């Protein structure tokens, strides 16, 4: 990366550390391709890589205050991406190992819950609350963010397909989906704890 590229990153990082989301959006546009590429090399699955990259960007936003300008921002960002990918790989592997234990635990939970109310009734109530809150959060999004998110989540389109359908760049689509998820996540944080 050129010195001026590094300077641009540093400026945007400083602004993002003050809560400037559009500056963080610029960092996303500058580095999203490399972050995705690095994660893809680790997980070897484009869909997984997209999801993990989204998580990595959310972590980067949440932790950007800890960046101290002692190294290039890109180095710090790639470390965040690498650790996010490693966590995802570990979780995936441990899920495979623990599936039997999880099934046992779920059976126990259902048996305990049934003393209070039928488990299906509890699950339906929780699902309805979550669904209602999700739809409320969705309605607060700007139209282009909501469209990009729905095309991704409901129709399962790739970022490239969404870009073609909405007539914009792939990086813009990724940025919109990232911001949409972040907004929904913050509005639903009491459900996600």
Domain ranges of the chain: 1-116, 117-193
**Whole-number pLDDT of residue 63:** 92
Q: What is the pTM of this model?
A: 0.51
Is the domain spanning 1-116 CATH 1.10.1740.10? The answer is yes
**Whole-number pLDDT of residue 7:** 56
Give just the sign of the alpha carbon dihedral 122, 99, 94, 92: negative
Q: What is the pLDDT of residues 127-152, one digit of tens each?
A: 667 677 777 787 888 888 888 888 88
Residue 102: C-alpha distances to residues 47, 106, 110 (Å): 25, 6, 12
**Whole-number pLDDT of residue 45:** 86
> Can you say whether residue 44 is alpha, beta or left, with left for phi > 0 and alpha for psi between -120 and 50 degrees?
left
**Whole-number pLDDT of residue 27:** 93
**Whole-number pLDDT of residue 3:** 41
Residue 28 burial (CB count, 10 A): 24
**Whole-number pLDDT of residue 143:** 82
**CATH for the stretch 117-193:** 1.10.10.10
Residues of the chain scoring pLDDT < 70: 1-8, 93-128, 130, 190-193
**Whole-number pLDDT of residue 67:** 92
1-116 shares its CATH topology with 117-193 = no
């Amino acid at each position: 990366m050129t010195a001026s590229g590094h300077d641009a990153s540093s400026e945007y990082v400083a602004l993002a550390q003050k809560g400037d989301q559009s500056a963080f959006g610029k960092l996303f546009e500058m580095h999203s391709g490399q972050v995705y590429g690095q994660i893809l090399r680790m997980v070897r699955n484009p869909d997984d890589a997209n999801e993990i990259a989204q998580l990595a960007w959310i972590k980067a936003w949440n932790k950007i205050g800890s960046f101290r300008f002692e190294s290039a921002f890109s180095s710090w960002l790639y470390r965040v991406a690498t650790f996010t990918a490693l966590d995802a790989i570990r979780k995936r592997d441990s899920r495979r190992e623990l599936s039997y234990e999880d099934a046992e635990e779920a059976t126990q939970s259902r048996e305990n819950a049934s003393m209070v109310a039928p488990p299906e009734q509890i699950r339906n109530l929780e699902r309805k609350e979550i669904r209602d809150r999700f739809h409320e959060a969705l309605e607060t999004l700007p139209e282009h963010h909501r469209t990009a998110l729905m095309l991704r989540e409901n129709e399962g389109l790739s970022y490239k397909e969404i870009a073609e359908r909405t007539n914009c760049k792939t990086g813009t689509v990724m940025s919109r989906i990232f911001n949409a998820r972040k907004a929904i996540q913050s509005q639903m944080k009491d459900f996600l704890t």
